[in-house]
Every structure is written in C-alpha cells, then in structure tokens.
Amino acid sequence: MRFTPDFLDEIRARLPVSQVVARKVALKKKGREFAGLSPFKVERTPSFFVNDQKGFYHCFASGEHGDIFTFLMKTEGLDFPEAVERLAQEAGVQMPKASVREEGREDERQRLFALLEAATKFFEANLAAGGRSAARDYLATRGLEPETLREFRLGYAANSRSALRDHLAKAGYSVEEMITAGMLIAGDDIPVAYDRFRHRVMFPIADMKGRTIAFGGRALDPGQPAQGGAGHMAKYLNSPETPLFHKGCVLFNAHRARLAAHDKGRIIAVEGYMDVLALWEAGFREAAAPLGTALTADQVKLLWRMAPEPVLCFDGDGAGREAAFRAIDTVLPLLKPGASVMFAFLPDGLDPDDLIRQQGPSAMERILARCRPLIDVLFEREWTKSDWSTPERRARLEQELKGLVARIEDQAVRSHYGSALAKRLEAAWQPAVGRFPGTQGAGAALRGGRRRSPIPGRAPGSGWAAQGTGGARANPSLSLRKSLIVAGEGLAAPHREALILRAILSHPWLADEHAETIAGLVFTAPALSRLRDAILSAHALDKSLDTRALRSHLSKTGLDKVVNLVDRAVTHRCDKFAEPDAGRTEVEDGWRHTLALHERHVGVRRSLEAAERAWHEDRSEDAYVRICELHRQLERSTGSETFTSSADDDPRS
C-alpha cells in the first residue's frame, strides 16, 4: 500500500518518539533529549538517545537510527505497512484506502505544491524588478535587510486582476487548479475568476518541510476601496482553506524556527509576520506566529513538538493581555506533565520590532528572561475580574477557580493546579490594609509563598487590587498600573518624544535656534537619545543641512531604522507643525507647546522616581499616597499629548 508523506507526517506529529520508545526502554530526561539503555545491545551505561524535536532515536552502541516506524519494525519485527497501521490506530489517524482515486488525489496535491511554488517565484520576481515600488518603499521603512527578504522569499502582488492568473496559465496550470490553490477568487456571480492578492507585499506560508502552502498579503493601501467589491481592503489577507492549507494547524516560520528551537530549547510565539522577521534579524531565529487569529489547540501542539514550554509573547497593551487570556482557555485543557506555556509581555505600546529598534536585542532578551508561567497569568486574570473583599465573593472566586481546574484533562496536572491555586487563595486572604505591592516579593503569592500583601500577582500593564479582610479596593490609574513598581519594566517612548524629533527632522533650523534646549532633553528611549545626538552632531558640522540632506546623513550613520520609527510614531493630524510643509509661525507655536508639555511630564516622572525610592525605604502610607497623586498627574500629562482645535482647550490661547 502506498502511504503519502503527509499521512505519515500526521502520525509522527501526533506521536512523540519518546512515547513510542518508552514502552520498550526506560527513558530519563537529559537536557533536551531522553536517554536509556539500548534495546538493540546489552549495556550498562546508557547510549540510546531520543529526540522528540527532531523526531528520531539514535543508538551509539549499535548505530541504529530511525523514527517511530523504524523502531517498531526493529523491535517488534513488523513490516512497514504493519507498523504504519498500528501507529495510525494509536494516533487516531484513519488509514487511507489503496485506490486509484487516492493516488489521483496525491498527484493533485503535488500539482498544487508546484503551482504555489511558481506563484512564489512570480511574486519574488515582481519585488526584485528594477525601479522603486510601493512594496519596496514599505519594506524599506520597516528596515528589513535584503538577506531577510531573500530568506523569507517576500514578494509583491501587482495591482492587477489577472497578472498571476496569466502567468500561471502560461506555465500550464488550469483556472480550476488556481482556484483550488486559493490564488483566484471565483463564484457563481463572478464571470471571470480574478487574482485574490493585488497590490500587496506577499509572505509565503510554508509547511514543516518548507514547501509553500499558502500566502499572507499585506495591503499597501489598506484605506482604499477594495477592488472587485465594496468596503476597504483588509490590512492582512491570508489564503483560504485549501487541500494543502488549514489555517488553524499552521504557524508562520515553524519550519525554520524548529531547528533554532532545538538548539536553544525555546520557541517564541509572537503575533504577526513582521514580528517574526524583526526577531529573526535580531538573532531570535526560534520565533513563529499564528496567522492573524487566536492560538488554536493544534498550533499549541505544534509548538510543543519544538519545546515543552513555548513562550507566548504579547504586546503589553489591553489587546495583548486579552490575547494572552484567550490563550489560557485554549491551553488549559491540553496541559500534561512537562508541557505548558510561558507568557512574556512587552512594554505598553511596543511590538517586538519597535522594542528592538529602540532598545536593542538585549531588551528583548530581558523580556524573555522575565517570562511568567501559565498559572501566574491565570490567577491574575481571575483575581482582577472583581472585588473579593466579602466572604460571598471569595466563595465565588474559589468556585470559579475550581471550575477552571476541572477543565484540565490530565489528572496529575489537575491535582497540582488545584493545590497551587488553593495556596495562592490562602495567601491572598491574609489581611493587609493599605499595603503597597512593591517589586520585592510582589509575586510571592503567585509562586505559592506566604506574604502579608493581598496582591496575588500582576502582569506588565495589568491592574491590581489592594484589599483584604475588611479592606476597601484600590483602583489605581492606567499610569500607576504601568509604573516600574507595579509593572516591573520601562514604559514605551511617548508619542511626544517622537514628535519633537520629527519636528527637528522636518525643520532643521530648529537645531540652530534651540541647540542647547535640544541637547538637554530627556528621552525615555535610548534610541531616541542617540538620534538626537546624531542630529546635533550633523548640525554642528554643517548648519546648512536641509531635511533631505539631514536624513541622508543619518541613514549613512546607521540610524535610518530609528528615523523610520519616528516617522511611523507620528500619525496624528493635530501634529501638523512637525510636517515639512508647515509654516514657520505654526512650527514655532507647536514646538514651544510640545516642549512645555514634555518638560512638565519629565518633572513629574522625576518626582515619581523620588517618591518610589522613598516608599522602598520606609513603606509608609504617606509615600504611597504621594505615588498615587504623582501618577494621577502623570496620567493627566500623558492625556494632553495631542493638540486640540478648540481655543478654549488650548493652553496656548
């Protein structure tokens, strides 16, 4: 009987090698592998190793090497079809029927693979064609290196309804095959099928063997009306479900990340294509991403094939936390001994690309080093839902946690979760009115420890509640929840800082008239400080530099990525004074107003830092009240970053 490669891969994906081998060999974990005595040769020292990530076993004593099928054939005397049939039954995979029809389907799949490979090369050639294009300009603003574009085979789909269709037709593919592969849009009300992807940067999506099975397309004009239909173009568009592509079972870049994940013992799941590319360039080759949707159970299992505790990396804003909370519900029933997930949260307002541009790869490594286990984030999610200051409410929280634990299918893991959460509740109920949860010991209850603070945990950018027996709940501001005390990590560079630099880039004469003021500005992001210093250095050498010459100089000094970051950060219509076409009077007014807001913001932050140091020294109620008041001031300062058109609201009027 003929077995297709995809059918065999499905069995391998569902059955780790260690699970099959463990029936014959007593295995012990050794690093990222399992070790045991050889089943092929009598020995006293283990020389038999199993690697689940790579999907094979190897015996150094006998030289035997293979996968799960080979192991059954070698240890039980089965032939290949018998080994496949037994493992397919164990994996719950239906055996294929040996028929001409099945063989025809496999031939059809191979045609689709070839068609999608031809489409990939076509998009690559479009992007590489001579002359500037919107696609090349977009990729330049994202700062991607040419080597990255080639490695990920990025391309461009022309703004045409038939360019790809005509190309594939010349290559011998039928319209029906193009529709089946998801490359054309067709329907009863569409006379002529047309290209699905138009005027988009194209990201090939590959299977675990590196073969293109689908595409993701990033619109270059997402605000423009969609061609061939009503409404507006979606920013990202993926291929539809096809015989080769099932969206919920695939991770972007999984086939590349697998090797790096084995070497590092870590796999990072981020939110999008560009996040993966940014991490790749920064040296984090073990990154993959779901395809624009919430993480699915099949994707979690795919991550577990690469590492036992994948790191789910989310933005630190509300949307990122909500995505993390949804992932909890997906992973919880699947937990098993040694297999879970970790959570890494970025500073509010930053994605991996922005973080790396501003603070470098080391900042990303620090975020990953502060990963939090699933049980921490689960407990925080439930704790921050409500006020638990009464016995009745506490009983409800306990009941809800028990319901969540009951969803865990593995009995051993379920038992440990029940015990750990019970300890955290016990620690959380300890009375501690008016206590402030500092960075020291702030996560003790989440780790199962005992402490007097009622705050059981926190995540970057998330809320907390100061309550206890008879205590009232505190509702801190958004800025307080982002503070170094609560969040444990720095803030994103404010919009206002980028606005100041954008104004200087657009109007270099500001560097001449306000050089001392600019030199003394305090920036949150080190990258923005470097850009400021480079601007002043360039101006000192040549005071006649215009905008174009200044930007060219900065690009040559390796700061073009930071300049692009500043350009992307300033998008408000009310920031017109920072645009090149603004008049001198408008620039001066906007400049003075922005500097005043920035200096006031910096002053409040300095006072806040002093108050936090005072609180760490004496933990007094007065210090805590001072911190809360300064955070309210900081929030008001942050809320006034943009200009208003109303004279009544404008402090300049």
What's the pLDDT band for 449 if we cut at 50, 70, 90?
A: very low
Q: Predicted confidence band at 477 (pLDDT cuts at 50, 70, 90)?
A: very low
Q: Give the pLDDT band of residue 530 (cuts 50, 70, 90).
A: confident
pLDDT given for residue 222 in this prediction: 63
Please report which confidence band the pLDDT of residue 648 belongs to, taking 50, 70 and 90 as the band edges: very low
Does residue 583 surpass a pLDDT of 90? Answer: no
The predicted structure's pLDDT at residue 118 = 97
Specify the pTM: 0.61
Q: Is 19 helix (H, G, I), strand (E, B) or coil?
A: helix
pLDDT of residue 231: 53
Question: pLDDT grade, residue 621 (50/70/90)?
Answer: low
Q: Name which residue leads in pLDDT, 478 or 352.
A: 352
- d(C-alpha 206, C-alpha 250), whole Å: 8
Separation CA 269–CA 250 (nearest Å) = 12
Is the predicted pLDDT of residue 436 greater than 70, yes or no?
A: no
pLDDT digits (tens, 9 = 90+) for 338-368: 899 999 988 877 888 888 888 889 999 999 9
Give the pLDDT of residue 472: 36
Q: Which two tokens stand for residue 244?
A: 């080769």
Q: What is the CATH number of domain 254-370?
A: 3.40.1360.10
Flag whether pLDDT at 460 surpasses 60.
no
Arithmetic mean of pLDDT, 246-270: 89
The rounded distance, in Å, linking the Cα atoms of 494 and 569 is 9
pLDDT band for position 116 (50/70/90)?
Answer: very high
Higher pLDDT pick, 307 / 223: 307
Question: Candidates 3.40.50.10860, 3.40.30.10, 2.60.120.200, 3.90.980.10; correct CATH number of 102-245?
Answer: 3.90.980.10
Q: What is the pLDDT of residue 279?
A: 95
Q: Among 234-248, 269-283, 624-638, 639-653, whose mean pLDDT is lowest?
A: 639-653
pLDDT digits (tens, 9 = 90+) for 175-201: 999 999 999 999 989 999 999 999 999
Domain boundaries, the chain: 5-91, 102-245, 254-370, 376-487, 495-639
Structure tokens at 276: 């993966």
Report, as an integer, the average pLDDT of 503-521: 83
β pairing state of 268-269 and 65-66: unpaired
pLDDT value of position 501: 85
Q: Kind and range of the H or E element at 215?
A: strand 212-219
pLDDT bucket at 150, cuts 50 / 70 / 90: very high
pLDDT at 28 over 60: yes
Q: What pLDDT band is residue 131 in, cutting at 50, 70 and 90? A: low
- In sign, the C-alpha dihedral spanning 390, 393, 397, 399 is positive
In percent, the amount of the chain with pLDDT more than 70 equals 80
Q: Mean pLDDT throughout 399-405?
A: 96
pLDDT, residue 508, reads 87
- Binning pLDDT at 50, 70 and 90, where does residue 456 land? very low
- pLDDT tens for 104-115 read 777 889 999 999
- CATH superfamily for 5-91 is Zinc finger, CHC2-typedomain (3.90.580.10)
Q: Which residue has the higher pLDDT, 3 or 296?
A: 296
With contact defined as beta carbons under 8 Å apart, do 619 and 441 qualify? no
Q: Considering the chain, what percentage of its residues have pLDDT values greater than 90?
A: 40
Three-class SS of residue 185? strand
pLDDT at 102: 62
**90 CB burial (10 A radius; 0-12, 13-18, 19+):** middle
Buried b (16+ CB within 10 A) or exposed e, 586-621: ebbbbbebbbebbeebbebbebbeebbebbeeeeee
Task: Identify the DSSP state of 249.
Answer: G
User: In terms of pLDDT, which residue wins out, 464 or 103?
Assistant: 103
Query: What distance in Å separates the CA atoms of residue 124 and residue 116, rounded to the nearest whole number?
Result: 12
Residue 230 has pLDDT above 50, yes or no: no
Q: Which two tokens stand for residue 434?
A: 């008016």
CA 174, distance to chain mean position in Å, is 38
Least confident of 40-54, 132-146, 151-165, 540-554: 540-554
Amino acid at 235: K
pLDDT-wise least confident of 77-86, 540-549, 608-617: 608-617
Is the pLDDT assigned to residue 610 strictly greater than 80? no
pLDDT of 458: 37
Q: Is the pLDDT of residue 454 over 50?
A: no
For the chain, the average pLDDT equals 80
Task: Convert the pLDDT of each residue in 297-337 to its tens digit.
Answer: 999 999 998 888 999 998 777 778 888 899 999 999 999 99
Q: Is the predicted pLDDT of residue 480 greater than 50, yes or no?
A: no
Task: Name the band, by pLDDT with cuts 50, 70 and 90, for residue 294.
Answer: confident
Residue type for position 124: E
The more confidently predicted of residues 489 and 540 is 540
CB count, 10 Å around CB of 88? 20
